[in-house]
Amino acid sequence: MRIKALIAGCTGHRLTSDEKQFFRDAQPWGFIVFARNIDNPDQLRELCNEMRDCVGRGNAPILVDQEGGRVRRMRPPHWRDYYSGEKLGDLYRKDQATGLRAAWLQSRLMAADMIDVGINVNCLPVLDVPVAGAHDVIGDRAYGTDVETIAAMGRAASEGLLAGGVLPVIKHIPGHGRAGADSHKDLPVVDSDLATLERTDFAPFKALNDMPLAMTAHVVYSKLDGDAPATTSSMIINDIIRGFIGFDGLIMSDDLSMHALSGDFSDRTQRAFAAGCDCVLHCNGIMAEVAEIAAHCPELSGKALARTKAADKLLGEIEECDIEALHAEYETMFAALV
């Protein structure tokens, strides 16, 4: 079966006839949903079913950004609210064991919410290390400001997702925390030297280099490659992400429609793959854009195909648990912070 190295979004609560035909023809590896695609559990479940019907794969990855705090697509009244990475980190700073348990619980509960509607990949954990003066696009999404906290909490969150049958995506590799701009709008340039970056920004990703999926940072590290952000830099992907960090899972780009990237969509796509991305992500559902991207996406093969198969094997492996008991434990942990 031919599968394009593409993850794509759609425009609304149901697929249009044009979207269905496009996905049947393009055969993307996966999909991503946003708040615009979500109304209620039954609707979201049907949308996920439609997506998978188009590609004929019952376990096709469907992604969501469900971090907790300000970045969450599944919201009340149909789903419970969850806390930001910073709030989880507050518990860790008071008591490490409690913080780790809370991170695991939150991810395990979110995984149950997702699996119930057909979503099986969460773009979490955020492993970026914020520094003073950086743009707040990361801000309270981070577990803390030190490597040890972020790595420990990121692993607990990842293991909670995996226990619930949902794949984690470590992001934004090799680190967005030092960026002085929001890469949704502008291209951030980080001027720190290699030794500093290895000691801080890169370190949490190195600690979680055994995870199955990672999402790139649209960030230029000027001392390493002054010409291209990580997403389109072969030096960053090969020497830093594959080399120093030692990550051998699937590397997906961050959203190719973000304004940090330059050039048309064919150019962005070709540069991402030439740099070493295994798969590209397009989120906004605009058909003209994603069609241009798909036209320049290769079919999965070689190491990229092997990485998707390794990730696919982890999908749906759910450890049995008492969800209501876990919810009660979770709420008790946070009672003092509310």
Active site (catalytic) residues: 184, 254
Spatial distance between the Cα atoms of 97 and 259, rounded to a whole number of angstroms? 40
Spatial distance between the Cα atoms of 215 and 278, rounded to a whole number of angstroms? 10
Using a 10 angstrom Cβ sphere, with 0-12 exposed, 13-18 middle and 19 or more buried, the burial of residue 313 is exposed
Spatial distance between the Cα atoms of 29 and 304, rounded to a whole number of angstroms? 11
Number of Cβ atoms within 10 Å of the Cβ of 50: 17
Spatial distance between the Cα atoms of 188 and 184, rounded to a whole number of angstroms? 10
What's the sign of the alpha-carbon dihedral 172, 189, 294, 71?
A: positive
Which pair of structure tokens corresponds to residue 114? 């997702």
Which is nearest to 75 in space by CA: 117, 40, 119?
40
Distances (CA, A) of 249 to 18, 59, 95: 33, 18, 32
Categorise residue 12: left if φ over 0, alpha if ψ from -120 to 50, beta otherwise. beta
